[in-house]
Each structure stands twice: as structure tokens, then as C-alpha cells.
Chains A and B, each alone.
Chain A
Amino acid sequence: MTPQDHFLVVAPVAAGKEPALRALLHSMNAEPGMADPRNAVVPFALFERLHFARLMLLDDALQADLRAHGVEPKRLPTCLAFLGDCDGPADEVLVDLAERAGPGLARIFAHCEGFGEGTALLEWMRARKRRSAASFVNWVGRSVRQIREEAALHRALAARVPRRPLAAPGDAERVHRELATWVTGEVGAGRLALTPPTPTPLGWQLAKLANLVFVPLVGIVALPLLIVGTPLFVYLLRRHEERDPEVCPRPVAADLEALHELEDHDITNQYTAIGAVKPGVFRRWLLSVLLLLTSFVCRQIFTRGFLARVQTIHFAHWFFFDDKSRVVFVSNYDGSHQGYMDDFINKVGWGLNLLFSNGVGWPRTRWLVHGGSRIEQSFKYYQRRHQLPTQVWYKAYPGLALVELKRNHRVREGLEQGTMSDAQALVWLRLL
């Protein structure tokens, strides 16, 4: 299988160039915020390993919230961020991007500090590339190509499957066999493609294995310390939870409108949020450890279509910024924003609290998992207020939702499984 990777290139916008940059980014879109896949600046559609990509401006407006903690915020530059989720090593995609969309990317980055005439684009991007603190990939190994091929397969089979009762014993099994034979023929004739998975890179497997061993090992080694430290931790946690200020004012109507304009053009939507980490060593360490654990479980456990109960996130990343004083969270999710947030509250409110309660202003939590995001009104204001418009957003498979990707893959598995019992064949037929 082809593991997924991501890149995030971040650079401060040069003084005075923000308006021009916004105009250029805007020119890449077909609908507000929705990239024209074949736009002249970065024709994303040419890059077949790219699942999602976005270009966005990260400002520091919410740094002012630090004053609630008595900390005077530093002025931070507005940055341009270029994020991509891709098949295979991100560096290879960056090389490809520099090669085939070089002039367009250079036009964009020319609005950033440190990029001028004659700057070597690829080196410049590499130097500004950062890795996430934690990343979730809905289905590790599912490539863009596979998604497209399986969607075509499902479409073809759905149009062909007999839609009548198959009452006689063996009927379903026979239909399954016939369809499988038909698909083989279509593949042979080049009308359908079912590219076999590529071998999983050994390096990737070893790294994953090392991670699987190393993180629990550190845990075991640190266990005595953790046990001894628990009372102190509990004391500090409760003290912080009781004293940390909430900053959940209602978002400004015009800001909300700017976000709305970009949403619901496709079944999938984008989300970008930014916020300051609560000042002090305790939260900084707690968040670091929790993101490390998140990264671990996303790598080892949540790799097959779900992040706890949430099944509507394609990709999500947490990035530390500015020496761990800020976090940027990005995701691609199915459905409307309202539905996404309700899903979050009702299905994984505890998980949100674990991580985001370390951010300045989060609604008050109890014991790290209770309260917080379940304080509906405060939470909904908070997450909207922390959201930033994503100026350009690209999705490689418009219209396709995760439930379909999962179903399409089951269809394929059912074909490749070979023989089936009648009961299994019935279940398979009902996927069509």
C-alpha cells in the first residue's frame, strides 16, 4: 500500500504584499475558496498524488486573548501556509510541484519574505516545511488513484447489478460470480482499472514498528514517575481548570459571513483554526504529551476509517507554531459545519477537550474530558471564532464522501475475495 504523507510550507508574508497575495489566491478559485483544479497558477489536478491542498493566511488576531492570562502578546507576522495531503513521501510531491507548477508557486511565494528573483523554489519550500505534531489519515494506504478507480467500479456495478429479489438458493452467489467475471472482462478491455496495491515501503513499516515499540516503552519506563507524580498532576490540573479564563465571545458577524461564503460547495468542507496555547509550563507539557499520544494512536490504531466515533474526517493535522506557543488545526470533513460540530460534541467531546482545553479561552473543562466542548454555546462560538478562512482549497475527488469511499472499497474487496457464500454475496450485493 501507499502510505499518505503531508507537507506544510509556512512563510511570513512580506510587508505590504498581503492585498496582492489575496488577489492572486482569489484568482485560482472557481467558486469562493474552491480551487479551479486546472487554474493557471497551480493546476492541482495535474498532481495525481494530491488528495487535498490548501493555501491560507494565518494571522495573529487572537493572540490578544492572552491578555486574559495577564500575558502581553507579541506581535506575530501574518504567514502564508501551503498544505497538502498526498500519496507517498511529501518531498517527492514537492519536487514534482516545483517542476510542473514552479512559475505559479514562485508567483505566490514572491509575496513572502525571503523569496526573490532567482530563489531556488524547491530548496526554499524545503527549508520552510514543517511536520505536524499529530496527523489523522482516514484510511492509511488509500491512494487517490484507488479512490477514483473504486468509485468508477462502484458506478459500473451499480448500473449493472440486477435489482430484483434473488430468492432461490445460490442466486446471490451466482450473481456475484457473474459480476466478478464481468469486471475482469472490463478491466481486461481497459474500461475499468483496478491497479494492484504497491508494496508497502520497508522504511515506513520499520518506522511504524519502531514507534509502536518506542512510545509504550517510554511509557513503561516513565510509569513509576507517572504514578508518583499523579497526585501533583491532579492537583495542578484541577487548579488550572478552575482558574483558567474562558474566552468565548460571539464571533463577529462579518467574520462568520466570510467563512460561510466558502462552505458547502462540495459534500466535503475545510476547516482551519488557530489559537494560542495557555501560557506556562504545565499546559505546554500536557499538550505536548497528549499530542504525542494522539499521534501514536492515529498512527497505530485509528487508520481504518474512524477517529473514535467520528467517521467523517478525511485528514486532520495539529501543528505547533512559534515555539509551541500556538497550535494550528486543519481538517477536511464531510457534511456541513453545523453537523461537524455536533458530531464533535456528541461523539468525541471528550477527545476535543483533552487536546483543545490547553488552548487559551476554551470553555471550562472538568477532569480534562468533561464539560468544555459540551458547553454547546460557548464551544460553538469558540471554534468559529478561532477558524480562519481558507483562501484556496482543493479536493481531488469532488462529490465523493467517506461513506462512499469505504463502501466502494468493500465492493472491491468483495470482488477480490473470490468465492463467497450465498449470505456473504447478499451482503455484498446490497453495497451496490
Chain B
Amino acid sequence: MITTLPVELDDIQGLVRFGYKHHTEASFLLLRVSDRDAARRWLATVPVCTAETIEPPPETALQIALTGDGMRALGVADAIVDAFATDFVTGMAGDANRARRLGDVGANDPGQWQWGAGARMPHVVVLLYALPGKLAAFQRAIEAQCAACFERITCLTTSDLDGIEPFGFMDGISQPLVDWQRKRRAQDAERDEYTNLSCLGEYLLGYPNEYGGYTDRPLLDVDVVGSRLPRAEEAPERADLGRNGSYLVMRQMRQDVHGFWQFVDRCAAGNAAARDRIANAMVGRDRAGVPLVGPANETIEGGGVPGDLNAFTYRSDPHGVRCPLGAHIRRSNPRNADLPPGRPGIVSWAMRTLGFDAEALDQDLVASTRFHRLLRRGREYGVGVPLAQALAEPTASTETGLHFICLGANIARQFEFVQNAWAMGVHFDGLPNESDPLLGTHLPSADGRPTDGFSIPRDDGADERITGLPQFVTVVGGAYFFLPGIRALRFLATT
């Protein structure tokens, strides 16, 4: 019998619960261990903000995550490191197959990354968040402490673009609602409605996930660990190094804002309304965040209230006439249920389950959304480019883009699946050989056919098809980190 323990907010890093939106200033230090003992001492004591609510919010917040290489550099035993998920241990840039799946080929090739591969593989990322005006001093102080124990690969700076990503669209609108109260029973049951409420175990190790199961993680001998770590819920005789921790996926994505708007402008032959229509179609929302699928008036469990920007699914638009099937937000979050929609009753259920409902089958090309959610914590970087300037001839502007960050308990099923099957998938929802209009590399597929199209379905004729999409977003760095619980962090630093 599994005892449901209360959620220990004071053992969880704050980033899992908060986006630190009041902390508009942030920077991320990518570090390699240079003095193991000093690094361990620092990690054992550095104050880390927890998931407890503090009013008013603290001026600054520090969060820490480690790579597998980082744990080894700190002297953590191989047997412990290797008990984390294989994807995490191998790393984002760890093998050619992963690169093929994630679209990290061509210009995205890890061999060309600014960080995240080879000697520029970080051991530790220190994420610094601060209220306006408070970052500089905070960062100086932390960097001074780190100088003795770490070598700095780079400091990733961020910009506060007011919730607008560099292409000019409102970002961060859709997030899963994490079931912190553990209201949902830990069991495996089919869900016939899209739900935005998501089990804690989808984001934190050591808690039941959407299957009612636990993700694999290092479970250690209590005799050795003593009371330094929490116990595993499903195996109370073992100490749980994963509990209250999460995997943190980080990717630096450079956005070609000029390239994007000038391409769209050419497609629109300079017509402003057509330009907006095409750009919105690629995103799936307008620049203010209003979903193209129409008035958001559905009631969705854990999904806000009718009228807000998230109260919608694509059920009323199965062919993508209002929001193209390949639109970025539709690919990233298809908002479907476990079973395609149909009439109520057991007969319809059985028909759909056995595949005998042809209409349902046609709408069954996309996996159940609830197993593939991401808790996004990214930040923009660089200088925002106003639309008028983006449309003008490119000047030597500075680099801008997104430090994409997402949290999840299962990198393979969450981040990698979404990136591979949904964003890069050239047949997502039956589409004709095209990848995500914003994220895709748009390189020809292995058989030489182009994937640089974007289809905008219409109900009065063949799809409108935009071709020749260049690559708008380039991955220039990335790594898989483990964002440990507080006790786990101290344990890793002292074991």
C-alpha cells in the first residue's frame, strides 16, 4: 500500500511551482567544475529558493540544476548517475540518433553549438532571478563565490520583452495546471475529454504520473543514506534521490526575426493584412494571443474560464480550416483526449477503440496530449525587433531568441516526443511532408523530398500552400539538467 505523503514544498526548487514573473531580470550561469571540493562545499550550502510561497516575493532567487557529467565531476558514483533516465545520462547532444529525432541536424548540429557539447558541456547551471534592478549586484556576488570552484562557460543573459517572444507574438499563454493538491487519484484510466490538469508526477520525480506509475530514478540504500533523503513513496524502504526533483531541458534558440517577417511579407506581396493572416496561421494565435480556432468558450478541467486565451480545443475544427493543423501551437499542444470524439455510449466507445469508426480513425493520428505536456520556464534574450524594423532591410542587429526551458519527469516522453513527433514530425496529423513552420529545419527528408511547405487548409478548395520556408529558428546550445530537490542537492554535494 502506497502512502500518499504531503508535498514538501520546502524541498522543491521554486522554479517547478513559479515562473518568477515578478523577477523580470534573469541570467543563467553555465559552469564547469574546476575545484571539486570547493564546488561541493558551495553547492552544499548555497541558499536555494524553494516552492514555498513567500510574501512579498524575495528580491532574488537562485536555482541550481546539474548535468550527468556535472554529477560525475562532483564525485557522485557512476552507479547513482546511471540510475537516472538514460536520455538524461546520454545528454541532449549525446548521440546521432537523438540529433536526428530532435532535428538537431544541419544548422542545428550540436557540433556547431555555442555550448552543450564536448568541452562546452556545462556541469551546472545556476539560474538567477531578480526583481527589477536587483540582478547585477546579485549576479556579481554569486559569480564571485563561483569563481573559486567553477570555470564559467558563458553567462546567458535574458531580456524582459513583456511576455512577447521575438517574432512579436504573446508567449507562455498555455501551461498545464499542475495538480499540487494531488486531487487526481493515482490510477490508470482513459480520459475522454482534454484536460489541462496534470499529475504532479509528470513534472516531479517520486510522484505518480498520468499512468498512475512512477518514473525510474536512483533509489538508494537507507542504511547508507540515513535520513538525508526522503523515502520513495512506492518503496518506503528505499531513499529517493529523485523525489522533488525534475528534469530541466534547456535549449538556446536563435530567432531570425528579419528572416521571418520578410519571408512572410514576400508571401503576402507586401499586403499588411495578408502578412498578419499568414504569420498568425503559422503560430495559431494572433499577436495578442487570441487563438485562431475561434472564441475560447469551452470549459476545460484545469483550463481557465471561458473567454480566456486557453479555453479551447480543436474539436470544432478537425480539418484545420480555422487554425491550420500545422500551426505551431496546435503542434505543441494538440489538446486532444485519449480517444477521438464520438457519440456517448458503450457501442461508440467500442467502435472507436477497435478502430471501426472511420471518422474517428481519421482524427486519431495524434497521440493523447496529457502524456506529452511541458511545463515551460523559458526566457527571451537579445533586443526586441519592432515589426517595422523587422520588415526593413536587416541591419547588423544583435542576436535575439529564446532560452527555452521546460520541466518534466520524463524527457523522452515529454520534451523529446513533442519535439520529434509533433514539431519535427513531417506527417503530424496527416500533414503532407512539412514540419513546424517556426521550429522546423525545413531540410529535405532522407528521400530528398522537400519539407519546407506550410499548408493552410480552407473549406472551399485545396489547401493554400506556402513553400520555400527557410529556417527561422536555429538551435545554438542545449543540455539536459536535473533540477534536484533541496535535500537531494545537498546530498549530491556531500556524498
Contact = CB atoms under 8 A, between A and B. Distances in A.
A266 interface: yes
B457 interface: yes
A377 B215 contact: yes
Nearest to B372: A342
Interface string A248-263: 0010010011001101
A261 B97 contact: yes
Interface in B395-439: 412-413, 416-417, 420-421, 425-427, 430, 432-433
Given A339-B420, A399-B445, A426 B365 contact: no
B367 A346 contact: yes
Interface stretch (A161-169, A233-241, A317-325): A161-169
A432 B432 CA distance: 9
Contacts of A59: none
A263 B98 CA distance: 10
A343 interface: yes
B461 A335 contact: no
Interface in B423-464: 425-427, 430, 432-433, 445-449, 457-464
B364 interface: yes
A175 B416 CA distance: 42
B460 A166 contact: yes
A426 B319 CA distance: 13
Interface stretch (B38-46, B353-361, B376-384): B353-361
Interface string A87-125: 000000000000000000000000000000000000000
Given A162-B462, A264-B101, A267-B445, A374 B353 contact: no
Contact of B461 (A163, A260, A311, A400): A163
Given A311-B365, A430-B462, A374 B211 contact: yes
Interface string B321-354: 0000000000000000010000000000000111
A260 B425 contact: no
Contact of B361 (A167, A267, A311, A334): A311
Interface residues of B, number: 56
A306 B216 contact: no
B297 interface: no
A167 B460 contact: yes
Contact of B458 (A161, A165, A401): A165
B465 interface: yes
Contacts of A261: 95-97
B160 interface: no
Contact of B216 (A175, A307, A377): A377
A342 B361 contact: no
A16 interface: no
Interface in A328-352: 334-336, 338-339, 342-343, 345-347
B465 A339 contact: no
B460 A163 contact: no
A128 interface: no
Contacts of A265: 100, 446
B462 A306 contact: no
Contacts of A266: 446-447
A306 B209 CA distance: 29
Contacts of B215: 377
B56 to A, nearest CB: 41
A376 interface: yes
A263 B96 CA distance: 10
Contacts of B211: 345, 374-376
Contacts of A180: none
A45 B438 CA distance: 37
B368 interface: yes
A164 B449 contact: no
B188 interface: yes
B426 to A, nearest CB: 7
A371 B421 CA distance: 26
Given A164-B461, A375-B211, A430-B462, A257 B365 contact: no
Nearest to A342: B367
A165 B96 contact: no
A165 B457 CA distance: 11
Interface string B163-199: 0000000000000000000000000100000000000
Interface in A45-71: none
B304 interface: no
B265 interface: no
Contacts of A306: 355, 361
B355 A307 contact: yes
B405 to A, nearest CB: 21
B189 to A, nearest CB: 10
B19 to A, nearest CB: 28
Nearest to A165: B460
A292 interface: no
Contacts of A260: 95, 97-98
B82 interface: yes
B481 interface: no
A336 B418 CA distance: 12
A334 B427 CA distance: 10
A289 interface: no
B213 interface: yes
B316 interface: no
Given A311-B364, A376-B213, A429 B445 contact: no
A407 interface: yes
Nearest to B429: A403
B89 interface: yes
Contacts of A346: 338, 367-368, 371
A335 B458 contact: no
Given A260-B95, A336-B101, A166 B461 contact: yes
15 contacts: A162-B462, A253-B86, A263-B97, A267-B445, A302-B355, A305-B361, A306-B361, A308-B354, A311-B355, A338-B420, A339-B367, A339-B417, A342-B371, A346-B367, A404-B427
Interface of A: 158, 161-167, 171-172, 175, 250, 253, 256-257, 260-261, 263-267, 302, 305-311, 334-336, 338-339, 342-343, 345-347, 371, 374-377, 398-401, 403-404, 407, 426, 429-430, 432
Interface of B: 82, 86, 89-90, 95-98, 100-101, 188, 209, 211, 213-216, 319, 338, 352-355, 361, 364-365, 367-368, 371-372, 412-413, 416-417, 420-421, 425-427, 430, 432-433, 445-449, 457-465
Q: Which 8 A-B pairs rank lowest in CB-CB distance, beginning with the nearest? A: A399-B447, A260-B97, A166-B461, A398-B447, A306-B355, A264-B100, A429-B462, A161-B462
